[in-house]
Structure 1
Amino acid sequence: MDWFAAEGYWLSRLVFQRALAVVYLLAFLGAVRQFRALIGEHGLTPVPRYVARVPFRRAPSLFQWHYSDRFFAAVAWLGAAWSAALLLGLADGLPVWANLLAWLVPWALYLSIVQVGQVWYGFGWESLLCEVGFLAVFLGPADVAPPLLVLVALWWVLFRLEFGAGLIKLRGDRCWRDLTCLYYHHETQPLPNPLSWWFHRLPRWAHRAEAAANHVTQLVVPFLLFAPQPVRTVAAVIVIVTQGWLVLSGNFAWLNVLTMVVATTAAGGGLWGALLPVGPPAGLDDPPAWYVVAVVALAAVLVVLSYWPVRNMLSRGQVMNTSFNPLLLVNTYGAFGSITRVRREVVIEGTSDPEPGPDTVWREYGFRAKPGDVRRRPPQVAPYHLRLDWLMWFAAIAPAYAQPWFPALLAKLRDNDPDVVALLRHNPFPHLPPAHVRARLYRYRFTDRRERRDTGAWWQRTLIGDYRA
């Protein structure tokens, strides 16, 4: 079936599947390490309260039928182990039906987590992983050529991801149109990384060039994904390179990495054959008839579901990172339609003084990645996702983003809750809980070169006042 099979993409599929398994593994391990404090039975926004008010049809999940911290941990650990098995290629030699089931398992498990994750899982890369993971189910095992329709569906994901992000920028903040957004972005992005200070200190012409290149990559290059080879491979390489640039400049969880993973499917086997010492088998089996029918049915469903994201992209009221169905298929994406010019940070402090006064000593809690200590270099954490640190960035933008979890966070810190404290880098009260905690709002900015040389500090901060959520 020449119309069905894309034999030249055998190695592209292999690269994609291995890389996707890595992303799955990171996602499940992150869930294992963070869920108790965030959404556990005694977490900041407990799952049992959520499923009690949200029905299965709106949030399909295993946890709608049963939830306990032990069960959640079992699901997350199973997902991590399963992802590791896929990474090792243990599903490659299975029959087509068994291979499909092998890739269906991590998708179903992670969808179950996302659907009860509430605000902690409300990021575009969560729905992206669910959408891409579902399409991966239909790519088939190593001895069958990958279906062209599924590859086109993945290119359609990449198109929406890039083109949607480009449109939201043009329609959003004026600084994208006058090419000045990157004067601020590297400093005010959610979690700067070790190179963000250096990117921020690039000359302004370089920032303008970055913004212009972004527009070309997101508004022009996506159309080339549907061009004949080798143009499609060139487009894929451009996406991979530009996403790699974003990886170097900031911590965006696995958004950029997963975008690169999807782009690998558009690069022809010739590129991967030149880079990897792996060749396709001598012959590829014909696909079973039921498999062809299933893939064609999938394509038809995706065409229908594409109506809503296309309508959104064409709308003047375009929204970012929205799903139109409970299975998180064929979503709309976008990032940084507006850019904050000033960085604000919520700093949480505690004291052992039972009656705080003017002479009270307040000690600061340290987070794993978000700015706090001005002398600490921003760390590299991506593609791992620190959910509390990300939400603290939103809380600093507006108190509305801090509801309902921030008051619960302060209460947990007053109790020295071990699960919440485990999410932090530094607890100033390791033995006895504080008598009081408070939150204060600061303005942060990167030091300039002279300040950096004279003080050793990466940040300079100025107190704005008390923070109220």
Structure 2
Amino acid sequence: MGWFNADDYWWSRLIIERGVAVIYLCAFLAAARQNRALIGTHGLTPVPRYLAYRSFRQAPTLFQLRYTDRLAAGVAWTGVLLAAALAVGAADLVPLPVAMAGWLVLWALYLSIVNVGQLWYGFGWESLLLETGFLVVFLGNDHVAPPVVTLWLLRWLLFRVEFGAGLIKMRGDSCWRDLTCLYYHHETQPMPGPLSWWFHHLPRPLHRVEVAANHVAQLIVPFGLFAPQPVATWAAAVVIVTQLWLILSGNFAWLNWLALLAGFAAVDPSRVLPAHLLTHPATGAAPVWFQVAVLGCAAAVAVLSYYPVLNLLSRRQRMNQSYNHFHLVNSYGAFGVVGRTRYEVVIEGTMDRQLTDATVWHEYRFKGKPGAVGRLPRQWAPYHLRLDWLMWFAALSPSYADPWFRPLLHRLLTGDPATLRLLGANPFRDHPPRYVRARLYHYRFTTFTELRHEHAWWHREPAGLFHPATTLDRHVRHR
């Protein structure tokens, strides 16, 4: 490894670049399939209304020039195609400047979506994808060796992700300090996966060991990413294994996948791969302009790291905070507070003309969030179901749903096709319902005995009314 070239890390670069391209593909695919209903011209929180009060400086996006649903779909599907091309190695077949331009276009397109995405895009992994995607621009392709500087920038990013998450836990909920958070987390997390029921029922002493191991992995191990080899590889391996454990235990979109990929920036392939796999394509010396670009990126990251470092040192640490509208060099963290009980909002509709105690209500099913008690949670990550996630926040507090929940009910009353495509099952295929309402339920995982006898993964009990029954006319008057 020279001062600039990390010749032995070409396998690491290949994994990072191809992996990030796949994550981009998932993100753009989610935008193409969901955004028309969420933020389209007639969506729940329309982009034109949002941009009417924001300048380019406040929201840098291509859509400042013009927004239509067709243009937005074109941006999303262009991102899908470009990401797919990069995922199969197109960047290595073109000159270095073209490859860098491809990654930069991908970043700019996704930035344009995030900056009009409003609360639907208010997740830490959006900023993480943009920051990681921007650094990948400076990883090069097969025409040059991976730059040492960019690999270190990726390690710095991973350090902030892990150490920030560890600190937010220790400074937050007391259950992280007394090692009991995993008594609840697998059951109350936003979107459980197919193995979450089993994780929840692990012995409690093992849960305490998991939490203690998490503290080690997030508060101690990240410092090893900056140590000489082979310590850096060992530290990265711990991070990668930890992220795989999190991937198995729940659905967190592409958060864990990006952290896992960044870990490969610290993995020395010569220490984990057999010699016959280490032969790498011939690479030339990095051109001067590329070296200048990489060093310029490093200087920008150093300057922009000021506020994230202050945030890490602050007792009032904020998680998932961006300090600029380009989402570069952010603060990260999650689950500073862990819920002890799970509530779900269940939306129901009926065709009855008059509501009585005998009215039969039919539930709308969502794709990812818990609903039917006999339905095993599905694996969706790294794909992201945005409405399902916001429904989880709505169950925590109705204020989360203020901007979009009534419009959602209105779309259901009108049978809006784009909105219905966001759902898993529509009980009113022939005609929209006359009334809709939303009820709140307390959910918990069943026990082993209940699963065996009732064939149900969840048990639920009514916990009140979330939104009263409304008709189309009443809903229009409320608005």
Q: Report the 3-state secondary structure (helix = DSSP H, G, I; strand = E; otherwise coil) of the residue aligned with 1:91.
A: helix
Question: Following the alignment from structure 2 to structure 1, what is the Cα–Cα distance between the partners of residues 321 and 130?
Answer: 13
Task: Mark the runs of 5 or more structure 1 residues left unpaired by the alignment.
Answer: none
Residue by residue over 1:30-68, the C-alpha shift from the partner in whole angstroms, topping out at 9 and shown as x without a partner, is 111101110111110111111111211121111111111
Following superposition, the deviation at residue 2 of structure 1 comes to: 2.6
Following superposition, the deviation at residue 286 of structure 1 comes to: 1.1
Alignment of 1:97-136 (within 5 A): 97-136=97-136
Partner of 2:373: 374
Indicate yes or no: 2:390 matched with 1:391: yes
Partner of 2:210: 210
- The amino acid that maps onto 2:68 is S
Partner of 1:236: 236
Partner of 2:85: 85
Partner of 1:424: 423
More deviation, 168-177/88-97: 88-97
Partner of 1:446: 445
Question: Following the alignment from structure 1 to structure 2, what is the Cα–Cα distance between the partners of residues 21 and 395?
Answer: 32
- The amino acid that maps onto 1:448 is T
TM-score by length of structure 2 reads 0.96
Alignment of 1:296-311 (within 5 A): 296-311=295-310
Question: Following the alignment from structure 1 to structure 2, what is the Cα–Cα distance between the partners of residues 268 and 262?
Answer: 13
Residue by residue over 1:354-412, the C-alpha shift from the partner in whole angstroms, topping out at 9 and shown as x without a partner, is 21111100000000011111111111111110000000000000011112011111111
Following superposition, the deviation at residue 292 of structure 1 comes to: 1.2
Q: Report the 3-state secondary structure (helix = DSSP H, G, I; strand = E; otherwise coil) of the residue aligned with 1:42.
A: coil
Alignment of 1:28-427 (within 5 A): 28-271=28-271, 273-274=273-274, 277=277, 279-281=279-281, 283-427=282-426
Question: Following the alignment from structure 1 to structure 2, what is the Cα–Cα distance between the partners of residues 16 and 279?
Answer: 18
Residue by residue over 1:341-366, the C-alpha shift from the partner in whole angstroms, topping out at 9 and shown as x without a partner, is 00000000000012111110000000
Asked whether the 8 Å contact 1:273–1:279 carries over to 2, the reply is no
Task: Mark the runs of 5 or more structure 2 residues left unpaired by the alignment.
Answer: 469-479
Q: Report the 3-state secondary structure (helix = DSSP H, G, I; strand = E; otherwise coil) of the residue aligned with 1:310.
A: helix
Question: Following the alignment from structure 2 to structure 1, what is the Cα–Cα distance between the partners of residues 456 and 216?
Answer: 36
Following superposition, the deviation at residue 279 of structure 1 comes to: 2.7
Following superposition, the deviation at residue 276 of structure 1 comes to: 9.1
Following superposition, the deviation at residue 106 of structure 1 comes to: 0.6
Question: Following the alignment from structure 1 to structure 2, what is the Cα–Cα distance between the partners of residues 274 and 94?
Answer: 29
Asked whether the 8 Å contact 1:4–1:148 carries over to 2, the reply is yes
Question: Following the alignment from structure 2 to structure 1, what is the Cα–Cα distance between the partners of residues 295 and 259?
Answer: 25
Q: Report the 3-state secondary structure (helix = DSSP H, G, I; strand = E; otherwise coil) of the residue aligned with 2:274.
A: helix
Q: Report the 3-state secondary structure (helix = DSSP H, G, I; strand = E; otherwise coil) of the residue aligned with 1:404.
A: coil
Residue by residue over 1:408-433, the C-alpha shift from the partner in whole angstroms, topping out at 9 and shown as x without a partner, is 11111111111001111111101111
Q: Report the 3-state secondary structure (helix = DSSP H, G, I; strand = E; otherwise coil) of the residue aligned with 1:333.
A: coil
Question: Following the alignment from structure 2 to structure 1, what is the Cα–Cα distance between the partners of residues 410 and 245?
Answer: 40
The ranges of structure 1 where at least 4 consecutive aligned residues each deviate by more than 2 angstroms after the TM superposition are: 93-96, 271-279
Report sequence identity in percent.
60
Following superposition, the deviation at residue 207 of structure 1 comes to: 0.5
Question: Following the alignment from structure 1 to structure 2, what is the Cα–Cα distance between the partners of residues 17 and 241?
Answer: 20
Partner of 2:5: 5
Question: Following the alignment from structure 1 to structure 2, what is the Cα–Cα distance between the partners of residues 67 and 275?
Answer: 53
